[in-house]
Amino acid sequence: MKNLTITSLVLSIAMGGRLYAEGELNLYSSRHYDTDERLYSDFEDMTGIRINRIEGKGDELITRLKVEGKNSPADILLTVDTSRLERAKNEGVLQAIESEVFEALVPNSLQDSDNQWFGFSQRARIIFHDKNDVANPPLDYLSFVDQAYKGLVCHRLSIEDHGEEKATEWAKGVVANFARDPQGGDTDQIRGLASGECEISISNTYYFARAAQRRLRIVQR
C-alpha cells in the first residue's frame, strides 16, 4: 500500500550556468532537509568547490530561471517532486547532460528520457488506516473513491495526476468520501486518524516516524 515518488532531483540548467565556474557552484534549491547540509559540506570538502545557495519554492525558482534566461548564474536546480521537474523542462530552463557517473548510479526509472534531470532519492508515500475500523483498506489512490470509504477519508489538497478528465472524476469521488474538509499537511492527516476524525489517509513515512520521535499522540485515541 505504498507509492514511491521522487523527492530530490538534480537538474542541469540550460540557460547559461557553467558548472564549477571559478571554483564555485550556484545551486537553486527548494529542499529544506537537514541531511542536505551534510551533502553540501562533504561535496565542498571533497572538491574544494564552494556552493552558493539560492533557496525558495520550486515554482518561484523556475520562474526566476525563466526570467534570468541565458544570463542565469544557476548551475543546478534541486527540487522535490516530478511535477516541478516537468514544469521546468516544459519551460525550457534545463539542458541535457551526458554523464557516465549518473548513468551508472541512477536507475533508468529515475532519469528523464532526454537526460534533463536525474533523481537521487525517493520517499514512500503510504496509505494509513485504522485497522480496528477498516477491514479492507484501499490498496491504491484510485480506490479512495470507493463508496465503502464514505466519511472515512482525510486528505490534504494535492491530488495525483492521471489526466484531466480522470483526475476530475477521481477528485469528486474522494471529496464525496471526506470525513472533513482538506486541511494541513501530512502530520495533520496522521493526527486525524489518531483523533478519530477519519479512518484512512495518506502520508509520507518519515512524518509518522518524526511524530513518533516527538512522542505525539498519533497511534491511539
Split at pLDDT 50, 70, 90, the class of 187 is confident
* pLDDT at site 157: 56
* pLDDT at site 210: 74
Domains 2-123 and 130-213 equal at CATH topology level: yes
* pLDDT at site 166: 77
Split at pLDDT 50, 70, 90, the class of 203 is confident
- What's the CA gap between 219 and 211, in Å, rounded? 10
pTM, 2 dp: 0.66
- Mean pLDDT computed over 206-213: 75
C-alpha cell at 167: 483526475
Split at pLDDT 50, 70, 90, the class of 174 is confident
- Mean pLDDT computed over 95-99: 89
Tell me: pLDDT of 216 over 70: no
Highest mean pLDDT among 1-15, 61-75, 115-129: 61-75
Residue 204, beta-bridge partner list? 125
Q: Which residue has the higher pLDDT, 1 or 111?
A: 111
Q: Which residue has the higher pLDDT, 209 or 19?
A: 209
Q: Where are the domains of the chain?
A: 2-123, 130-213
Tell me: pLDDT of 215 over 80: no
Range in 61-65, 95-99, 104-108, 170-174 with the lowest mean pLDDT: 170-174
Tell me: pLDDT of 7 over 50: no
Between the alpha carbon of residue 35 and those of residues 31, 32, 156, 206, the distances in Å are 10, 9, 26, 13
What digits encode the pLDDT tens for the residues 32-79? 777 788 889 999 999 999 999 999 999 999 999 999 998 999 999 998
Residue 171 burial class via C-beta count within 10 angstroms: exposed 0-12, middle 13-18, buried 19 and up: middle
Provide the CATH topology of domain 2-123: D-Maltodextrin-Binding Protein; domain 2 (3.40.190)
- Mean pLDDT computed over 133-149: 88
- What's the CA gap between 95 and 3, in Å, rounded? 29
Q: The domain 130-213: what is its CATH number?
A: 3.40.190.10
* pLDDT at site 159: 52
